Amino acid sequence: MGEANEPRSECPINAAIEVFGDRWSLIVLRDIVFGDRRYFRELQANSIEGIASNILADRLKRLVKSGLLTREDTRAGQRARYSLTEPAIQLVPVFAQLGSWGLRHRPTSSALKARAVLLEQGGPALWQEFMDELRREHLDSKLPARSPSVRERLNAAYLTATNSS
């Protein structure tokens, strides 16, 4: 995928596709957003789709370059933490719609389905709450934390579905 070349068009939908329209970018972001993975090996080892390390390295680089992630600059050999930026946090509604669509029109496991269902039922209000939560964790906003967090609720739904199936 070309990097520094000019956009194919100025259509907003195309602009979005040019940033994360490939088979891995959204997967990486999904694992950071919903899985709370912040480190390279965490992202690679726990990936249910099995991302290769060179692909992950490339996507992280590109997402940083395009402003969706930031990387704490650490010396080599040390844990480097990735954080979501505001544009990436605002992908939550996109994820919600993608999940709703996949849920309805593709075969999915009942456990992984549970999160998408909850996210759909919660609607925009829940998405906003989740985005605020992400801002607290990834940006240095000093907003107070609430409990239980939305992610905890999403994961609880996942675990419940796992045990009951």
Partner DNA sequence: CCTTCCGCTTGCGATTTGCAACCGCTCGTC
Partner DNA sequence: GACGAGCGGTTGCAAATCGCAAGCGGAAGG
Backbone angles phi and psi of 82, in degrees to 5: -100, 140
Alpha carbon distance 153, 156 (integer Å): 5
Q: Does 83 bind DNA (CB under 7 A)?
A: no
77 contact, one of a copy of itself, DNA, none, CB 5-8 Å limit per kind: DNA
Nearer to a copy of itself, 79 or 104 (CB): 104
**Cis check: omega of the bond before 148, within 30 degrees of 0:** yes
CB of 161 to a copy of itself, least distance (A): 12
Backbone angles phi and psi of 55, in degrees to 5: -65, -45
| Options 63, 116, 118, 154; binder of a copy of itself; rule CB under 8 A | 116
Alpha carbon distance 17, 59 (integer Å): 14
Can you tell me which residue has the tokens 């796992």? 162
DSSP 70: E
Stretch binding a copy of itself (CB under 8 A), from 36-44, 52-60, 73-81, 110-118: 110-118
Q: Does 54 bind DNA (CB under 7 A)?
A: yes
Name residues contacting DNA, limited to 1-40 (CB under 7 A): 1-3, 22-24, 39-40
Q: Which residues pair with 82 in a beta bridge?
A: 71
Applying CB under 8 A, the residues found at the interface with a copy of itself are 1, 7-19, 21-23, 26-27, 30, 48-50, 67, 87, 90-91, 93-109, 112-113, 116
